[in-house]
Amino acid sequence: MADNIRRRLYNLLLHFFNGQIKEDFFTDTPYRKFYRKIYFEIFRHFGFIQYVLTKYLKKDTPVESMASLTLGAAQILFLDDIPDYAAVNESVALTPKKQKPLVNAVLRNIVKNKTNLLKEYHIYYDFPHYFFDRWQKEFKDENEFESFLQSFHKVPKYYLVSTNDLSIKEYEEGFNNSIYYPMDINSYTIPLLKKFQNVSNILDCCAAPGGKTILLSKLYPNARIKAVEKNPDRVKVLMQNLKKYKCNNVEAINADFLHFTDNIQYDLILLDAPCTALGTIRKHPEVLWLKNDKDINRMSKYQKKFLEKGLTHLKKGGHLIYSVCSLEPEEGFENIHWLLKKNNNLKLVTPEIDKKFIKDNCFYPLPHKSEGDGFFAAILTY
């Protein structure tokens, strides 16, 4: 009989091989840390594991076998505290009957040749070509490039924000005080990049689940805030969060921001745009393998529409914060330069934060210099 929780890892992999992300934090099991560790090793080393598997497989291997083989190989190669026989047996047990002999044979071969296979390991294998190539160009110093890549394998840190005084502290297991909102440290920084004066109305263009809306509500308690979100299910979560954290100055609106109309010119606009989420790969390493150059370019074009629309709602002298959880230049710097070129009066305002997180007047925390997700943010005014 297969272990039911390993089956959940197998299901994550089945979804993944079908091009989908399925989240499972294993919070309902006392062995959460153990299963999360397997999940991280699978996707951090996904590239090397596939390289190893291709030595033993034909091209058209069924996805069910790919899922059990990836699960088994990750444990054999990267998790020393799991006995090899357990990794093989559990993976075979999860596999459909007809495919069991293949999975069994390949995993036993990997066990037999483990030492030699691991001699071939290099961190470069853990990154897909599109990502590796675009980032190698960014670094003149090879050691810095390697430390950039290594930083994606670091255990991600989770934080809690006090909605009373906006202080932030590291997440503690079992801590469930109702005034705290869980948040990434760089996501938290975005509404705090600069304290603006005379803010009486705020527009949050893409608001759910509402982390940054909550911060804006507490930072500017006298302002009226409109929080727009297109996805009806996510609006429900947004509304629950606004109620839970007593954000009484916020009105949640279920609308497509690109078609949103009202007659207010805003003092402050937060445009936390949809993006590839490639800055979040320390926490969600599978994202790296589900995106490519085309997605980055498609998102960049889509974000330009949000930027143009956002500007139409900005009061003269007001500020617009544009942010994405991605470090890819097309989604950040290039979009901002495009907008500045089109609008002569528009200017960048430098964030008032630690200089090590600033590049070209924008917030740009690189993962080897920061504990949080990779973000890009720019403050614009005119």
Ligand X SMILES: C[S@@+](CC[C@H](N)C(=O)[O-])C[C@H]1O[C@@H](n2cnc3c(N)ncnc32)[C@H](O)[C@@H]1O
Q: Which of 205, 247, 325, 362 is catalytic?
A: 325
Q: Could you say which of 46, 181, 257, 266 contacts ligand X (CB under 6 A)?
A: 257
CB of 244 to ligand X, least distance (A): 14
DSSP 352: S
> Which of 99, 151, 162, 231 touches ligand X (CB under 6 A)?
231
Contact range with ligand X by CB under 6 A, out of 22-30, 160-168, 170-178, 228-236: 228-236
Please indicate if the annotation marks 212 as binding a ligand.
yes
User: Which of positions 174-193 make contact with ligand X (CB under 6 A)?
Assistant: 187
- Taking the complex as a whole, the smallest distance from the CB of residue 377 to ligand X amounts, in Å, to 12
Does 207 bind ligand X (CB under 6 A)? Our answer is: yes
CA dihedral 324, 336, 380, 279 (to 10 degrees): 20
The region of 4-12, 64-72, 230-238, 357-365 touching ligand X under the rule CB under 6 A is: 230-238
**Amino acid, single-letter form, for residue 320:** L
CB 318 within 8 A of CB 265: yes
CA neighbours closer than 13 Å in the CB half-sphere of residue 286: 19
Strand bridging mode 266-272 / 250-254:
unpaired
C-alpha span between 270 and 119 (Å, rounded)? 49
Is 128 or 274 the residue whose CB approaches ligand X more closely? 274
Q: Which stretch binds ligand X (CB under 6 A): 64-72, 193-201, 252-260, 343-351?
A: 252-260
209 among annotated binding-site residues: yes
The dihedrals phi and psi of 338, each to the nearest 5 degrees, come to -60, -45
Residues 30-89 that bind ligand X (CB under 6 A): none
Q: Which of 15, 111, 166, 274 binds ligand X (CB under 6 A)?
A: 274
Q: How many CB atoms lie within 10 A of CB 54?
A: 11
Q: Does 256 bind ligand X (CB under 6 A)?
A: yes
Rule CB under 6 A: is residue 234 a binding residue for ligand X? yes
Stretch that binds ligand X, among 48-56, 110-118, 158-166, 223-231 (CB under 6 A): 223-231
| Closest listed residue to residue 40, CA positions, set 30, 52, 49, 51 | 49
- The tokens for 244 are 């839970």
Among 206, 216, 314, 336, binds ligand X (CB under 6 A): 206
* Structure tokens given for 355: 């200089």
Q: Which of 99, 102, 101, 55 is nearest to 77 (CA)?
A: 55
Rounded CA-CA distance 214/249 in Å is 10
Q: Does 373 bind ligand X (CB under 6 A)?
A: no
Q: Is 325 a catalytic residue?
A: yes
Burial 26-46, CB ≥16 within 10 A → b, else e = beeeeeeeebbbbbbbbbbbb
Annotated binding site: 206-212, 229, 256, 272
Residues lying near ligand X in the complex (CB under 6 A): 187, 206-212, 228-231, 234, 256-258, 272, 274
Q: Which residues are catalytic?
A: 325
Annotated binding site for S-adenosyl-L-methionine: 206-212, 229, 256, 272
